[in-house]
Amino acid sequence: MADVQPGQRVLVHAAAGGVGHLAVQIAKARGAHVIGTASVGKHNLLHDLGIDEAVDYRSEAFEKVIEPVDLVLDLIGGEVAVRSLAILHPEGRLICMPSAAAAAAVAAAADRGLRATGMIVEPDGVGLESLSALVDDRRLRVLVAETFPLERASHAHRAGEFGHTTGKLVLTV
Ligand SMILES: NC(=O)c1ccc[n+]([C@@H]2O[C@H](COP(=O)([O-])OP(=O)(O)OC[C@H]3O[C@@H](n4cnc5c(N)ncnc54)[C@H](OP(=O)(O)O)[C@@H]3O)[C@@H](O)[C@H]2O)c1
């Protein structure tokens, strides 16, 4: 959806999370310059994943230290989405993943003449094939934070709602 091109500057919020750590690697595989926000304890991990710049969102206002970007992949929503518009290139795009936050982000972008959109992930066999190829090439790896049997699904939900996962939470069926 973002159609990331080589050399583009891409900002991924929550870059060490379940979606973010994959987005970082996919954008790198497409030749982008990738910047990610995460608390400082996760920066080494992000560098291992190939990120170009890691920004500690807790100690500094990300929009003050990041140069303009072509794409923001917003995995937080709310004021993070709105603040991101300050560093979005006029021709750039913000993609807001938390569904409940997307409408406000799209409206805030429209007020400034910028492009923003929400999205809902859908089953995509062709996309999965290209991701498999990246895995085979060792350019994409999936970090697993924790694995839960299905009967402990409520524990998995609680872990996710905490909001500080590194990588994916997995349910085994
Ligand atoms: N629309 C769709 O189809 C779709 C699909 C998948 C996911 N989503 C949504 O996308 C969002 C992200 O999902 P996820 O599974 O990647 O979440 P997640 O794994 O729970 O994200 C956790 C990460 O968020 C980081 N984080 C928390 N607050 C932050 C902030 N203010 N700035 C930067 N990073 C922050 C944490 O880093 P620290 O520990 O360093 O704080 C942690 O690594 C969720 O809202 C989810 O519902 C939507």
36 C-alpha to center of ligand 1: Å?
12
Residue-wise pLDDT tens digits, 35-63: 999 999 999 999 999 999 999 999 999 99
Q: pLDDT category, 143, cuts 50, 70, 90?
A: very high
> Which residue's C-alpha comes closest to atom 39 of ligand 1?
164
pLDDT for 164: 95
pLDDT score of 77: 94
Tell the residue number behind the tokens 């990041």, with chain if given. 66
Atom of ligand 1 nearest to the CA of 120: 3
Which one, of 9, 31, 12, lies nearest residue 20 by Cα? Answer: 12
- Tell me, what's the pLDDT at 101? 87
pTM of the predicted protein model = 0.97
pLDDT surpasses 90 at 98: yes
Ligand 1, pocket residues at CB < 6 Å: 13-14, 16-20, 37-39, 42, 57, 75-76, 80, 97-99, 119-121, 160, 163-166
Give me the DSSP letters along 121-164: ----HHHHHHHHHHHHTTS----EEEEEEGGGHHHHHHHHHHS-
pLDDT of residue 113: 97
End-to-end CA distance of the chain, in Å?
A: 31
Q: What angle is formed at CA 37 by the lines to CA 36 and CA 42, rounded to 5 degrees?
A: 95
Task: Give the residue extent of every domain in the chain.
Answer: 9-118, 143-173
Q: Which long-range contacts (CB under 8 A, 24 or more apart) does 44-50 make?
A: 45/16, 45/21, 45/143, 45/166, 46/15, 46/16, 46/21, 49/21, 49/24, 49/25, 49/141, 50/24, 50/25
Pocket probe for ligand 1: among 35, 144, 165, the residue whose CB has the most ligand atoms within 8 Å is 165
Assign domain 9-118 to its CATH superfamily: NAD(P)-binding Rossmann-like Domain (3.40.50.720)
